[in-house]
Chain A
Amino acid sequence: MGVIVLIVDDDDSVRFFHRVIVTRSKLSSRPISFGSGEKALDYLDQNCSENDLYLILLDINMPGMNGWDLVDAIGGKTYHNQVYIVMVTSSVDREDHEKAKSYDMIIDVIEKPISDEECKKIMNSSLITQYL
């Protein structure tokens, strides 16, 4: 049993940056990146194992299926209580925070650029540590 970290962002430079930070902060040695919500959902549908927990660093603004759409889609899946999500956005507004509170699976909303400290904070959150 382990924690699999997914990075979902339409911008490849952001994906690159997140991968650097995630690995450097030792949140995960092998995060998996997706350029769209649809691709991330496909992956989960096909590979989700009962033994694993999934932590998604999820961009809010994306063409096609945006961050919120993906959260809603996962909410309807059987594996939804194996998924934890950190919403990552260029600018956080109050609306995003309010909205995030109504989802149990969203554990935080953070503003880009994500920092090492923030990654460590995620790692230390009690929900995740039990599986790490």
Chain B
Amino acid sequence: MKKQIKILLLEDSEDDADLIQSELKHGAINFTSLVVDTKTDFINGIRDFKPDLVLSDHAMPQFNSVEALKIYKDQLKIQKHNAPFILITGTVSEDFAVQCIKEGADDYILKDHLHRLPTAIENALEKCRIENENQKTAAEKLLLLERYEYISDATLVAVWDWDIVNNSTYCGKGFEKIFGHACDPNAENNNLNTAFIGVEDIERVVSGLEKAMESGDNNWCAEYKYLKANGDFSFVQDNAVIIRNEQGKAIRMIGAMKDITDKKKEDLRLKLLESVIANTTEAVLIAETDSLNTRLLKILYVNEAFSKMTGYTNKDVIGKTPVILQGEKTGQDALDQLKNAFEENKPSKVEMISYKKNGEEFWIQLSVTPIADDNGEFTLWVFLERDITQQRIHIAAIEDQNLKLKEIAWMQSHVVRAPLARMMGFINLINPGSDADIERAELLQYVLNSARELDGIIRAIVEKSEKINDI
């Protein structure tokens, strides 16, 4: 059964109103109606009764159809909806009828020809229904188009739409905006999306695309180099949906290309930095301050070199405090200096004894550096550790050696010269021309004694020198 239609009937004559309604029933129109004969009632009727259709007499005592038509059509405009207005009149001139149609009336019926009314109503309703539908479709299309424009603006993507059956491609404004390729919307085949794929990538991209089309997949994605109008290459990520017919054959593809050059560069940079940290021979430990107790540090990350140096694996230390690295022999001075650095958020460098997982102690040079987060709070600390045990041993050996060398130098300047000075003195006394009253034999004995002493001293120096090893 047809939907019941609501008819607002503007008619001052009750007889005519009855006549019209009976004609409608006769014409098998399923309806309800409201009869009004003043302007106020007409306006209220439009608002409250919400008619699907207005049937209006032409002339009434305080109102007329021209004014009613204007009120009704204005109201409909506001609602962006159309509904028929049909004029029913006793006598009317041809000119007046034409004017009414111009004003927006959908039809006019002479009271003498009321039998035409049901058909006229059905025609007018159908006309309005089609109009409304078209309007709605147009509005929806416009909305979709607007939405598409906004989305492509917001996401900075270049959209393409490939009609596979007719092999024609639509390319959106994004191609000009992002890549600088002017897009002529009237061109027959605007395949900007495929025309500029980098030579080294094209084979891979095309074969991937063909594979996706042949498989049952509804999505396709690829990353490749794409030539911009200015001659530079961009890295793009291309995501597309594949639309298939009932047989599953791909008939259309819609894709969006995104310039990911900056992201690629950043990824590469981060990867490089990460590999530096991961592969450096210096032990790296990153800790964050506990959100509840800023004086507590928790380990977030350690690199391979750290595990090699300390024996602690990633698993052993993540979430723990770096305090595990210190122990009994770690100097209080070093710990105080570190504590100070943590309290004042300043970088610091100390040398201290640290402990490995197996308890073995070793010397490290530790530098700690605070890193501020986006809010300027120092929540991260980077620890760099270098094993300086060998260096320490080396320095100790050099210091020991230095001491020995100093002893030798002292001996050479003081001890060696004492017997030598004596020998020189006595030889001077033995000289002919010297006093003869001193026994020469006695003097010679003194010279010999001094010579023996000197010999002993030189042997001692040789012995000491032999103890100095290459370091």
Which residues on A are within 8 Å of B, measured CB to CB? Answer: 11, 13-14, 16-17, 20-21, 24, 61, 90-91, 93, 111-115
Interchain residue pairs with CB less than 8 A apart (25): A11-B422, A13-B422, A13-B446, A14-B422, A14-B425, A16-B446, A17-B422, A17-B425, A20-B438, A61-B418, A90-B414, A90-B415, A90-B417, A90-B418, A91-B413, A91-B414, A93-B413, A111-B421, A112-B417, A112-B421, A112-B422, A112-B425, A113-B421, A113-B428, A115-B428
B424 lies within 8 A of chain A by Cβ:
yes
CA–CA, A2 to B106, complex, Å? 159
Interface centre among A13, A17, A61, A93 (most CB of B within 10 A): A13
Residues of A contacting B414 in the complex (Cβ-Cβ under 8 angstroms): 61, 90-91
Contact residues on B (Cβ < 8 Å of other chain), bracket? 10 to 19
**Majority SS at the chain B contact face:** helix
Task: Tell me how far the C-beta of A86 lies from the nearest C-beta in chain B, rounded to whole angstroms.
Answer: 15
- When C-beta atoms are compared, the residue in chain B nearest to A21 turns out to be B425
Q: How far is the CA of A24 from the CA of B184 in the complex (A)?
A: 125
Q: Is the CB of B418 within 8 A of A17?
A: no
- Chain A residues with CB under 8 A of B422: 11, 13-14, 17, 112-113
**Is B449 among interface residues, defined by CB-CB distance under 8 A?**
yes
- Interface residues, chain B, CB within 8 Å of chain A? 413-415, 417-418, 420-422, 424-426, 428-429, 435, 438, 446, 449-450
Q: Give every chain A residue within 8 A of B450 (Cβ-Cβ).
A: 13
Closest partner residue, chain A, to B442 (CB atom): A16
Query: How many residue pairs between the two chains, A and B, have CB atoms under 8 Å in the bound complex?
Result: 45
Please tell me if the beta carbons of B426 and A17 are within 8 angstroms of each other in the complex. yes
Which of chain B's residues has its CB closest to A116's CB?
B428
Of all chain A residues, which has the CB nearest B450?
A13
The residue on A at minimum CB distance from B421 is: A112
Q: How far is the CB of B344 from chain A (nearest CB, A)?
A: 45
Selected contact of A113 from candidates B415, B424, B435, CB within 8 Å:
B424
CA distance A24 to B428 in the complex (A): 13
- Pick the contact of B435 from A13, A16, A24 — CB < 8 Å? A24
Complex CA distance for A90 and B414, rounded to whole angstroms: 6
User: In the assembly, what is the distance between CA of A112 and CA of B450, in Å?
Assistant: 13
| Cα distance A11–B422 in the bound complex, in angstroms | 10
CB distance B418 to A112 under 8 Å?
yes
A90–B423 alpha-carbon span in the complex (Å): 12
Question: Which residues on A sit within 8 Å (CB–CB) of B424?
Answer: 113
Known interface pairs A13-B446, A13-B450, A24-B435. Does A114 touch B425 (Cβ–Cβ under 8 Å)? Answer: yes
Cα–Cα distance between A112 and B425 once the two chains are bound (Å):
8
Measured CA separation A21–B425 after assembly (Å): 9
